[in-house]
Amino acid sequence: MQLPHKHSATGTTIFTVMSALAAKYNAINLSQGFPDFPIDERLAALLHEAAAGNYNQYAPMAGLPMLREAIANDFKRRYDLQLDADKEITITPGATYGIYTAFTSFLQPGDEVIVLEPAYDSYIPNIEMNGAKAVCVPLTAPMFSVDWNKVKDAITPKTRAIIINTPHNPAGSVWSAADWQQLADLVRDTEMLIISDEVYEQLIFDGRKHYSVLEHDELRQRSFAIFSFGKVFNNTGWKMGYVIAPPLLTDAFRHIHQFIAFSINTPAQYALAQYLQQDSLPKVGALMQQKRDYFLQLLQELPFTLHHKTAGSYFQIAGYENISGLPDLEFAQWLTKEYGVATIPLSPFYCDKKDDRMIRFCFAKKESTLEAAVERMRRLNTVSKTQF
Ligand code: PMP
Ligand code: GLN
């Protein structure tokens, strides 16, 4: 029996492939993005409290009111933004789900969506699962900035949306207020909607500010802003996130959401709500900046090429042209098998699988993990390029 393909991606997502390879070869896993240190024990205790108490049945479809209120208060505190917890915030099982459901709430077959590449690997399949077409526009290396003329040229009468990601996975670049203004000028006279993937909003370094689409009054009216608790509380396995959108878009989102997930893990919602009500958010940005700096310092001893220092997210990309001439996927596999360090090749983040001979490291790890990984790669110094 042959089943139809619902999107053009072939095989299994690179994050699963590389994490499985890491496990198989007992490699240190700097590939898939997740922290390797424990969560705040107060949050763990709150999860226990929820399960031991009476928080084990279905939550309301939009999410526990106390969690949505806590998010609204958090946005008031951090961004001075007024959000309507009932009409503008929906709790989701992670950001990936939020992105898919946002697309599904408005895309029609034949629509086009602009994707800035490199791009997180779920975007294009999510667009295609809705019968729509991804139109890829490359970001400009080495800083992975937006070429606004290219974006403008990509807009056609069929363009229904654009998906933005800042801070950016995998490049670690961040948008300025001027970028949002450029986007506003481009979409003003169109029907385009915006999916703004801001999962790394709090992982932003060197005193930079994260500009949320929600802070741009004009753009906010046509945007779904996507967030993930996993990146803030270092609990990616909880798969908890939320989507903020104006009432009209939130209605469309829930219209779909009610028949896919319906509602989200109640004990986890309770724990996050209680935590947010009692405490200010963990200082995850400062922590990850320290890890970035430490990792970059360690990396200096290795022959990788760093074209820029990551400004946000927990990823650093690096060139390996001084080490090997292998294509990036093969290089990442070789590094895992021979050196015991798993990374992510960049080509899966491109529409045409363009290979710039770069890999992505995740530095959201204990210092001892980063040290051990660099120690394992120290032998790379002696590997001659001509061996490949
Ligand atoms: N968007 C980007 C850019 C990501 O890197 C991730 C990483 N997981 C997600 C969305 C998905 O987040 P979640 O785990 O909450 O689904
Ligand atoms: N966002 C993480 C990454 O980019 C994990 C993604 C995943 O496993 N699907 O590595």
CATH code of 370's domain: 3.90.1150.10
First to last CA, the chain: 42
Both structure tokens of 314: 């927990």
Q: Which two tokens stand for residue 116?
A: 């800035």
Minimum-distance ligand to the CA of 164?
A: 1
Ligand 2 atom showing the smallest separation from residue 33 Cα: 10
- Is residue 386 included in any domain, yes or no? no
User: Of 275, 297, 316, which marks where a domain is finished?
Assistant: 275
Q: Enumerate residue ranges in the chain where pLDDT < 70.
A: 381-388
Nearest to 273 by CA among 40, 50, 34, 38: 50
Q: pTM above the 0.85 mark?
A: yes
Domain with residue 168: its CATH number is 3.40.640.10
Looking from the CA of residue 32, the nearest atom of ligand 2 is 10
| CA angle (154 as vertex; 317, 247 as ends), nearest 5 | 85
Q: Is the CB of 343 under 6 A from ligand 2?
A: no
In ligand 2, the atom with minimum distance to the C-alpha of 96 is: 9
For residue 278, the model assigns a pLDDT of 83
Tell me, what's the pLDDT at 174? 97
**Which pLDDT score is estimated for 382?**
56
Q: Whose CA is nearest to atom 3 of ligand 2?
A: 33
Query: What is the pLDDT, as a whole number, of residue 214?
Result: 98
Q: Which residue's CA is the closest to the ligand 2 atom numbered 5?
A: 33
Whether 172 maps to a domain, the answer reads: yes
For residue range 75-101, list pLDDT tens digits in order.
999 999 999 999 999 999 999 999 999
| Same domain assignment for residues 197 and 271 | yes
| pLDDT per residue as tens digits for the range 323-346 | 999 999 999 999 999 999 999 999
Pocket of ligand 1 (CB under 6 A): 33, 94-96, 120, 165, 169, 197, 199, 228, 230, 236, 239, 241
pLDDT at residue 380 in the model: 86
* Domain assignment of residue 352, given as a range: 14-39+282-381
Give every CB contact of residue 20 below 8 A, 6+ residues apart in sequence: none
